[in-house]
Amino acid sequence: MKIGELSKKSGCSIQTIRFYEKQDLFEACNRSEGNYRIYDASSLRALRFIKQCRSLDLTIIEIKQLLDTKNNPDKSCSSVNNLIHQHMVDVTHRIAELEELKLTLSEMASACTDNRKVKECGVLQLLEE
Amino acid sequence: MKIGELSKKSGCSIQTIRFYEKQDLFEACNRSEGNYRIYDASSLRALRFIKQCRSLDLTIIEIKQLLDTKNNPDKSCSSVNNLIHQHMVDVTHRIAELEELKLTLSEMASACTDNRKVKECGVLQLLEE
DNA sequence: GTAAAGTCTATACCTAGTATAGAGTCAACA
DNA sequence: TGTTGACTCTATACTAGGTATAGACTTTAC
């Protein structure tokens, strides 16, 4: 299949597929006589793996590490588990930050609920502090 | 005061201050004979305003809009209130996304709590799906 | 034969800064 | 007066994960 079909089946844009290839995340495939990329079912599986990882917000470098690990089936998988665990810690931390931000924004919003003039705006006054 | 002092007083790095100036977020100031930037108390206030906004995750463009609004003290401040409100909506949305991600990660983590070999790794198996 | 759709590479752009190189400025000290 | 060190200047490249273009080529359908 050509890149357009792979794009539709995988849900990744054509540019993204080419970008992953350039990043050495996605193996360079065979080419047709006219230099078109030709993929098969295993390309689709590989791309879906990458997409799954990206949906977990793993970075491209981390996905490379995972792919590298996958190529050593007899080694320990602890690095994989650690990666996921560390991500959970990071996400938890980020949620806490955003909750705090939300609180600040909500306090800010309640400082000016009615429609005032700019010079009397409660939000702007808070921002000046 | 020179940029180093402003940097210390504001908590913005020197590069960031110059960056804001280049982005037309922070007014270009006077220069000394030797071409050094010379700031005063009002520069510090302006920079603190920007920093306050950035701590709320407002984009540079949004901050520009706020600054523009501030220059029209007799206009309505509704655009300011809308901006803050929209940010709260966005942050709330982002928190929900991250909560879902956290759940997925936690399910994933519990798929492989013991230390296995890569080929038997529960996390990698889930990622393959 | 030709038009449309698909693909190719290379390049620039996005955000909000950060990091660097190489040059110039200024103050203090000998 | 010379020089050392701290500070500042501009310009440029880099970060992450793509997205968007231009201009050329290939393939497909009629």
In this structure, is the CB of residue B2 within 7 Å of any atom belonging to strand D? yes
Q: Among A84, A102, A119, select the one facing B123 at the smallest CB separation.
A: A84
Chain A residues within an 8 Å CB radius of B54:
none
Cβ–Cβ under 8 Å, residues B85 and A109: yes
pLDDT per residue, tens digit, chain A (129 aa), is 999 999 999 999 999 999 999 999 999 999 999 999 999 999 999 999 999 999 999 999 999 999 999 999 999 999 999 999 999 999 999 999 999 999 999 999 999 988 899 999 999 999 998
- Give residue B115's pLDDT: 85
* pLDDT class of B129 with cuts at 50, 70, 90: confident
**Span B60-80, average pLDDT:** 94
- Give residue A70's pLDDT: 93
Token pair 């209130």 in the structure block, residue: B81
Buried b / exposed e across A40-76, counting CB within 10 Å, b at 16+?
A: eeebeebbbbbebbbebebeeebbbebbebbeeeeee
**H or E segment to which residue A38 belongs:** strand A37-38
B67 and chain A in contact, CB less than 8 A:
no
